[in-house]
Structure formats: C-alpha cells, structure tokens
C-alpha cells in the first residue's frame, strides 16, 4: 500500500513545553487508523500540524504521490490538496442553514471569483440532499445550524467533511455527545469512508475504537508509544501503565 501521508521526526514546543516530541506517523491511501492516548498526549496538536494550523519546530510532513511538503502550504491550500478535518468541539457555521453549511463544504471551486458567480446546480443540490439524509439531517436543511443539538452538529460536521471529498479525513473525537445508536452509525460511516480514502480517528472510547476494527496508534507525551491491532496495543505493558491502567 502506498503512503499518502508521512510525518517524520516532528517536534513542537509551546513556551518550553514539548507537546510533540520526535513524532513519526504514516498512513496509506485507503486506510482506517485510530489514534488513542491520554489527555494532553498531543493528538489534537498532531492534527494541527498536518492541517497547517501549527508549524512544527522540526521534522517533515510529506503528502501524496508527488511527495510535496505540507509545511510551507497555507491551511487553505492544504485543505484544497485533499485534507479534511473535523474538530473536537463541533464547529459549524451557526448563523447559516444546514444547506448553506454543506454547500460551502461541497467540493467545488474555492477561488473568490468562482464562488461569487457560483449558483448551486441541480446536481450539487442533489448531492447535498443525499449527504443530509446520510447524516440524518434531511428535514433540517433549511434550519440554522445553531439550533441543532450537539449530536446533530457533530453529524453536520461529518457531513461537511464528506462533502469536501478529501483524500484524508482527520476526525477528532467524533462520537462525543452522541447516543449509542448514533455512535454505531458514525462507526459505519467512517468504516465506509475509509474504503476509498484514508481516515484518522482520534477517540477515547475503547468500545468505539474496537468497532472500528483497525490499526491503532497510541500517543503519549507527544510521541508514538505503541502501534498495531487493538489487542496488541492493549496488552502492551507501557500502554497499560500510562493510559489504560489509570
């Protein structure tokens, strides 16, 4: 399997505190990966680095077949290159309707002139409607997203992520605030999405990770502590000490 994203030797220091410490990580083209680790392990910071929000002090982040470095690209360019992100705290545009949110995310021209003259085609509206039914928000299309429940906002954000049609999805704690059925549905969606693209899921809930049934990377103090199947890492003594045993 060819590598889609390769992070190597990356370190980040905030005011002398080393949040990411010589981290290396790889993911292939159509792979599902779970990232677990205690609070403050650097999971979110890792996503910040890949998406261009935080610049590392050292290390390399290499993307795609052409092996371009993401370090010199802006957040917008990285997103255009095909990396989509779901935030830990659901962030949707609350003053705008579900449809507007999805249309903004939908894969289309991102330049200002193209956007200025853009009017949604029937095809685009169909795609939005399909996505909306997939995420259970079909009847809420014209509602402002600020009125949605916490779980629905999570869904909307997952929908926006899928609408972008990225090659790599970074998903930060998608199941927080969801009911057990919703969690199951989320698992299905992520597993489904990972058939055609790479998906990285950060999650605390072990049951959730077990259902994803994929390779697991354990982060601790900014670097990889263990990697492998869930059973493999959960039987690792280091992992038990720092994460599971607490």
Partner 1 sequence: MDRSFVAQNPSVLVFLAILSLFTLGVTILSEGVGIGVISTSFVKTLGKTLCLGLIAVAMDLVWGFTGILSLGHFAFFGLGGYMIGMWLMYERTRLIVVDSLAQAEIPPTSTEVVDAIATQVFGVVGSSEFPLIWAFSHSLTLQLILVVLVPGLLALIFGWLAFRSRVTGVYLSILTQAMTLALALYLFQNDSGLRGNNGLSGLQNLPGVTASQDVVSIWFLWASALALGLGYMLAAWVVSGKFGSVIRGIRDNEARVRFLGYSVEVYKLAVFTLTACIAAVAGALYYPQAGIINPEEMAPIASIYLAVWVAIGGRGRLYGAVIGAAFVSLLSTWFTGGQVPDIPLGFYTIKWVDWWQVLLGVSFVLVTLFAPQGIGGLFDLWTNRHAPQRHGAALGPDESALREKEATE
Ligand X SMILES: Nc1ncnc2c1ncn2[C@@H]1O[C@H](COP(=O)(O)OP(=O)(O)OP(=O)(O)O)[C@@H](O)[C@H]1O
User: Interface with Mg ion includes 145 (CB under 5 A)?
Assistant: no
Q: How far is the CB of 81 from partner 1 (least distance, A)?
A: 9
User: Interface with partner 1 includes 245 (CB under 8 A)?
Assistant: no
Contact yes or no for 218/37 (Cβ under 8 A): yes
Contact yes or no for 168/197 (Cβ under 8 A): yes
As a whole number of angstroms, the distance between CA 182 and CA 175 comes to 8
Q: How far is the CB of 172 from ligand X (least distance, A)?
A: 7
User: Interface with ligand X includes 171 (CB under 6 A)?
Assistant: no
Contact yes or no for 216/227 (Cβ under 8 A): yes
User: Interface with partner 1 includes 142 (CB under 8 A)?
Assistant: no
Q: Which CB sits closer to partner 1, 154 or 234?
A: 154
Enumerate residues 6+ apart whose C-beta is below 8 A from 128.
99, 102, 103, 106, 120, 141, 163
Contact yes or no for 97/61 (Cβ under 8 A): no
Q: Which CB sits closer to Mg ion, 44 or 234?
A: 44
User: Interface with ligand X includes 75 (CB under 6 A)?
Assistant: no
Q: How far is the CB of 100 from Mg ion (least distance, A)?
A: 28
Local structure of 1: helix, strand or coil: coil
User: Interface with Mg ion includes 101 (CB under 5 A)?
Assistant: no
User: Interface with ligand X includes 52 (CB under 6 A)?
Assistant: no
Q: Kindly write down the DSSP assignment for every residue of 166-230, as one continuous string.
A: -SEEEEESTTTT--HHHHHHHHHHHHHHTTTSEEEEE---HHHHHHH-SEEEEEETTEEEEEE-H
Q: Which of 8, 115, 139, 149 binds partner 1 (CB under 8 A)?
A: 115
Residues forming the site for partner 1 (CB under 8 A): 51, 53, 74-77, 79-80, 84-85, 87, 91, 93-96, 100, 103-105, 110-112, 115-116, 118-120, 144, 146-147, 160, 164
Residues forming the site for ligand X (CB under 6 A): 14, 19, 37, 39-45, 88
């Amino acid at each position: 399997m060819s590598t889609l994203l390769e992070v190597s030797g990356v370190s980040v220091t905030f005011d002398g505190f080393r949040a990411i410490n010589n981290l290396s990580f790889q993911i292939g083209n159509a792979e599902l990966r779970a990232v677990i680790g205690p609070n403050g392990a650097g999971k979110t910071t890792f996503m910040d680095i890949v998406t261009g929000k935080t610049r590392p002090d050292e290390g390399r982040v290499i993307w795609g077949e052409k092996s371009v470095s993401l370090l010199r690209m802006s957040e917008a360019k990285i997103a255009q290159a095909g990396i989509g992100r779901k935030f830990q705290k659901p962030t949707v545009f609350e003053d705008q309707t579900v449809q507007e949110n999805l249309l903004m995310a939908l894969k289309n021209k991102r330049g200002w002139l193209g956007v200025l003259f853009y009017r949604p085609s029937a095809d685009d509206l169909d795609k939005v409607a399909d996505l909306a039914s997939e995420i259970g928000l079909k009847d809420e299309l014209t509602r402002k997203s600020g009125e949605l429940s916490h779980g629905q906002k999570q869904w909307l954000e997952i929908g926006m992520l899928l609408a972008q049609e990225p090659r790599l999805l970074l998903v930060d704690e998608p199941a927080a605030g969801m009911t057990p059925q919703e969690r199951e549905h989320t698992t299905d969606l992520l597993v489904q999405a990972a058939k055609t693209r790479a998906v990285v899921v950060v999650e605390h809930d072990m049951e959730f990770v077990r259902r994803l049934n994929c390779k697991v990377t354990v982060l601790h103090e900014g670097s990889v502590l263990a990697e492998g199947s869930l059973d493999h890492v959960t039987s690792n003594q280091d992992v038990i000490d720092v994460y599971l045993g607490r």
